[in-house]
Amino acid sequence: MNLLLIFISAAVVNNYVLTYFLGLCPFVGVSKKIGPAVSMGLATTFVMTMTATVTWLIYHLILVPLKLEFLQIVSFILVIASLVQLVEMFVRKVSKPLYDALGIYLPLITTNCAILGLALFMVMKQYDFIEGIIFGFGAGAGFTLAIVIMAGIRTQLELADVPEPFKGAGITMITAGCLALAFMGFAGLI
């Protein structure tokens, strides 16, 4: 039950994008179409789960015993950067269409705040190993949920008569605001 709550909390109640503002670059950049949005969401979920696993190990097995907690930013980011670059190379090799669809945002997963944020939050909340992984997975699922909903809305908005200055980022932000308003309904769920 506890794990379920952690998952729901990370996925909906404290949705990464809509309440912590993490992972906004890809959220804005890759939500124009459903297909890429789904792949981005899945890629991020994958990286997030992996990150949660690896950073938990590094933090608790290396940094804490050596009393090097102050190195967390540097070491986490190093781990994440390498991990993402590996994923990038892998995707590029395996699926060119996927690589093309994600475009420059794959390297930007590195700088996806959601991922480092995830690691930092995980440490802050003092989750144990399994909880950490669930937390990472839930956060990824929440990110995927938000970005796919957003992509659906934006596909529809492409046919809409949005006022010129609001086209693109403006209306995306406003839509995100409305979504955030809607997600407030989940408050108190846990």
Partner 1 sequence: MKVLTFRKGIHPKEFKELTEHKPIEKLPTPKEVFIPLQQHIGSPAKAVVQKGEEVKAGQIIGESTGFISSYIHASINGKVKTIDTFLHPLGLSTQTVHITSSEEANPLVTDSDTKSWESLSKEDIISIIEKSGIVGLGGATFPTHVKLKPPKDKPIDTFILNGCECEPYLTADHRMMLDFTDKVVQGVLIITRTLGVKKAYIGIENNKPDAIEKMSKATSKIPEIEVVALKTKYPQGAEKMLIKAVLDRTVPAGGLPMDVGVVVNNVGTALAIYEAVVENKPLIERVVTVTGNGIKEPKNLLIPIGTKLKDVIDYCGGLTGDNIKVIMGGPMMGITIGSLEVPVIKGTSGILCLKDGKNFAETVYPCIGCGSCTRVCPMNLLPTKLARLSEKGMWEMANKMGILNCIECGSCAYVCPSHIPLVQHIKVGKFMVNQLKK
Partner 2 sequence: MSSFKTSLAHEFTKGLWKENPVLRMLLGLCPTLAVTNSAVNGLSMGLAVIFTLTCSSTLISLIRNIVPKQVRIPTFIIVIATFVTVADRTLAAFFPTISKALGPYVPLIVVNCIILGRQEAFASKNPVHRAIIDALGMSIGFTLTLTILGMFRELLGAGSIFNLPIMPESFDTWLVMILPPGAFLALGLMIGIANWINSKLGIKS
Partner 3 sequence: MDISSIFYAIITMGVLGFVFSAGLSIASKKLSVKEDPRITKIIDLLPGANCGACGYAGCAAMAEALVSGKAEPANCPVANSENLSKIAEILGLEVTEKERKVAVVLCQGDTNNQKKKAEYLGVQTCLAAHLVGGGPRACNWGCIGYGDCIRACPFDAIHMSENGLPVVDREKCTGCGKCVEACPRNIIELHPISRHVFVLCKNRDNPKLARSVCKTACISCGICERATGGKGFKVINNLAEVDYDLYTKEPVLPTDKCPTKCIVIVGNPGET
SS3 call for 11: helix
Nearest CB to partner 2, comparing residues 21 and 46: 21
Token digits for 12?
Answer: 């909906």
Nearest CB to partner 1, comparing residues 161 and 164: 161
Selected from 104, 126, 159, 164, the binder of partner 1 by CB under 8 A is 159
With CB under 5 to 8 Å by kind, the binding choice for 53 among partner 3, partner 2, partner 1, none is none
What contacts 79, CB < 8 A, 6 or more positions away?
Answer: 51, 54, 55, 58
Please state the closest distance from residue 70 (CB atom) to partner 3, in A: 8
Which positions from 59 to 88 touch partner 2 by CB under 8 A, shown as an x/- string?
A: -----------x--xx--xx--xx--x---
* Whole-angstrom distance, CA of residue 74 vs CA of residue 188: 35
Phi, psi of 110 (to 5 degrees): -55, -50
* Whole-angstrom distance, CA of residue 107 vs CA of residue 16: 20
SS3 call for 165: helix
Q: Is residue 164 a contact residue for partner 1 (CB under 8 A)? A: no
Binding site for partner 2 (CB under 8 A): 18-25, 28-29, 70, 73-74, 77-78, 81-82, 85, 107-108, 110-113, 115-117, 120-121, 124, 163-174, 176-178, 180-181, 184
